[in-house]
A and B are shown apart, each in its own frame.
Chain A
Amino acid sequence: MRPSANAHISAGERACAGAPTSAKRPVLSLIPAAAVTALAALAVAALILTPALTALLLLPPDAAAQTDVRLRVTAQGRAAIRIGFLEPEKEIADDMAGYHEEFLEILKDDLEMSGYFELVEDPGKGEPHALVGTMTGPRGSELSFDVNLVDRVSGQSIFRRKYAAETDRIGMAAHVVADDIVYALTGRQGIANTQMAFVAGKKGEASLYTVHIDGSGLERITQTPSIVMTPSWSPDATRIAYVSYASGDPAVYVTDLEDRTTVRFSAFQGMNGMPAWSPDGSRIALTLSKDGNPEVYVISVDGKTRKRLTRYSGIDCSPTWAPNGFELAFTSDRTGYPQIYAVDMEGLSPRRITYEGSYNTSPAWSPEGDLIAYVSRIDGRFQICTVDPFGITTSILTEEGDNEYPNWSPDGMHIIYSSQAGSKSGIYIMNRDGSGKRRIYKDLVNPRSPAWSAQPRQAKVEPLED
């Protein structure tokens, strides 16, 4: 019996029943349609190389007997899913060993970065699930991968998919596989195959770039060195809005990444800053000073409608969308110091969210809506913090150097930010609770203002079947 490997795990109650040994570990909840809840630990077994096997369309999906199951990770205390890598059962051919090693290394790295998994070096027999993989080829310059997550107790597969990739895209292949595994096991989009936009270059001579989140595939988007700031992706990841002074005055531009055309979106008198693309893609919130001082506006992407949401004689700026599109958080100094507020789409009764400290700016609403990341001055340094939208619980997530530009991963599990900390400066990611900090980019001059794309990067790695 061969299970399908679709977006959901097709394991049904069997997977639940297969997890008795992990009952003491609060690992994750399985929630099938029948609301049966169980706990499971998962193990990934080896990627075994079997030379010269063709890997095309061997597995007709046998989905009829399967029950779709969605795994839900326990809220904040998300415990890690245990996975292990077993020794391959067959000898690896010499000409494949290098690819195999590289693939495994990147896959492990990605699974670790995803924040869901605990990698187990030598998984015991008690681990109820295992991922079996085969890598075949190369045929020409192409490798094939067969990835198969198996319940080691029943021997049944709960995720199986085949892939093909050029040998020089083995890293991308590993990213795609990692994201598929994350999606299959958690129901959430992975982050391994995503990209970010960012700004780099000396002050006043900067450019906008995009790069894969693993640091590869750097592309320069703006060609004229200028003041460039605060990129924001369209939700479909085809366009980026940003501020540029290339004309001499600040304006918000939108560059289409597919045909590389650029449109000047907003060039009112005075300040045009801090664009934030709405979650539904139809509007851009931004800061304009055309009416006499910095205020938050929302302009439809077609430019036809414009609405002012704030009315205060001081500073209102830096809007960020609630994921439902009904509210914006923004920075205002209406109490004398910058604090974070939220306002609805009618601009009525802004409510204050941050109270601690005298400098809280640059809000970024999480894609799940449950937290707002922002920058706070603490003991004279600038740190990334989070607060819930009602202002009840705040957490300080960074402590070294000066940190700016918090921005969420599309899965809401990670925060990306830039850090000025001497030789440790660069763009970092961390888990949403501040753990697992790692620098992901340090090239070019002063990389800053990262914006994480909501969509996977177009990869030339295609699943061959589901």
Chain B
Amino acid sequence: MRLLLILALVMCVAAMAGCGGKKARPPEDMDQMGEQGGRTPGEGDEAGAADEPVTPIEPGDADKIKLNRIYFDYDKYNLDDDSITTLAENAAALMDNPSVKIRIEGHCDSRGTEDYNLALGEKRALAARDYLVNFGIAQSRISVISYGEERPIDPTENEKAWAKNRRAEFDIR
């Protein structure tokens, strides 16, 4: 029941939001994707195993929906109530826009080691993905990437900034 209410609410919000939603962020990412392998030093044959295919980006509904970030506790990747509420909204928006594909970015605050934060960011993105998949979103529409502690929203070193940086973002592709 609660879910239906959220769904209805989300749909209203999505309809009202119209084009005001967050735009996809193709410029830099597309550039990089287009040069896969070519931007590494020197030349080299790519003996890469199982390369991820580069999926063409279809703008379509991408401009019409807005997906919100979720946040995590320090050194955690479980979803709290706020995150679940937000994820349900995001899921509803994705249900409503079946051609939209997303990439979920997992991020950490700067504390701790860079290598472990990379894994932690991955788990945060995967936790969000698993929720969406359980909700009914096709897994083929979702890719994940961890940026670890490399892309903070707020680079200052205090509790407030750290809380902002421990997040998953939903990047419309």
* A317 is an interface residue with CB less than 8 A from chain B: yes
Set of chain A residues within 8 Å of B42, measured between Cβ atoms = 255, 259-262
Set of chain B residues within 8 Å of A261, measured between Cβ atoms = 42-45
Partner among A204, A247, A270, A361 whose Cβ is within 8 Å of the Cβ of B39: A247
Interchain CB contact under 8 A, B33 and A247: yes
Set of chain B residues within 8 Å of A263, measured between Cβ atoms = 44-48
Mark the stretch among A152-160, A163-171, A223-231, A433-441 that contacts chain B. A223-231
CA distance A337 to B47 in the complex (A): 36
Set of chain A residues within 8 Å of B149, measured between Cβ atoms = 203
* B52 is an interface residue with CB less than 8 A from chain A: yes
Interchain CB contact under 8 A, A267 and B51: yes
Interchain CB contact under 8 A, B118 and A274: yes
* B56 is an interface residue with CB less than 8 A from chain A: no
> Which chain B residue lies CB-closest to A449?
B114
Partner among B35, B52, B113, B147 whose Cβ is within 8 Å of the Cβ of A227: B147
CA distance A466 to B48 in the complex (A): 45
Interchain CB contact under 8 A, B113 and A203: no
* A253 is an interface residue with CB less than 8 A from chain B: yes
CA distance A404 to B115 in the complex (A): 10
Partner among A227, A303, A318, A404 whose Cβ is within 8 Å of the Cβ of B47: A303
Known contacts A293-B122, A361-B115; A248 and B33 CB within 8 A of each other? yes
Interchain CB contact under 8 A, A331 and B114: no
**Interface band, chain B:** 35 or more
Interchain CB contact under 8 A, A271 and B143: no
Known contacts A223-B41, A253-B40; A229 and B146 CB within 8 A of each other? no
CA distance A226 to B45 in the complex (A): 20
Partner among B36, B115, B144 whose Cβ is within 8 Å of the Cβ of A318: B115
Set of chain B residues within 8 Å of A250, measured between Cβ atoms = 118, 145-146
Set of chain A residues within 8 Å of B112, measured between Cβ atoms = 359, 361, 377, 382
Partner among A247, A315, A362 whose Cβ is within 8 Å of the Cβ of B113: A362
CA distance A224 to B37 in the complex (A): 11
Give the interface centre of A203, A229, A268 by most chain B CB atoms within 10 Å.
A203
* A289 is an interface residue with CB less than 8 A from chain B: yes
Interchain CB contact under 8 A, A289 and B47: no
Q: Which of A392-427 contact B (CB under 8 A)?
A: 402, 404-405
* A273 is an interface residue with CB less than 8 A from chain B: yes
Known contacts A224-B39, A315-B123; A266 and B48 CB within 8 A of each other? yes
Interchain CB contact under 8 A, B41 and A224: yes
A-B complex: 7 closest residue pairs judged by Cβ atoms? A248-B32, A264-B48, A247-B36, A317-B119, A361-B116, A262-B44, A261-B44
Binding site for A on B (CB under 8 A): 29, 32-33, 35-37, 39-52, 75, 111-116, 118-120, 122-123, 126, 143-152, 155
CB pairs A–B below 8 angstroms (22 shown)? A229-B114, A229-B115, A245-B32, A246-B32, A246-B39, A261-B42, A261-B44, A261-B45, A262-B41, A262-B42, A262-B43, A263-B45, A264-B48, A267-B52, A270-B122, A271-B146, A289-B122, A293-B123, A306-B49, A315-B119, A362-B115, A375-B113
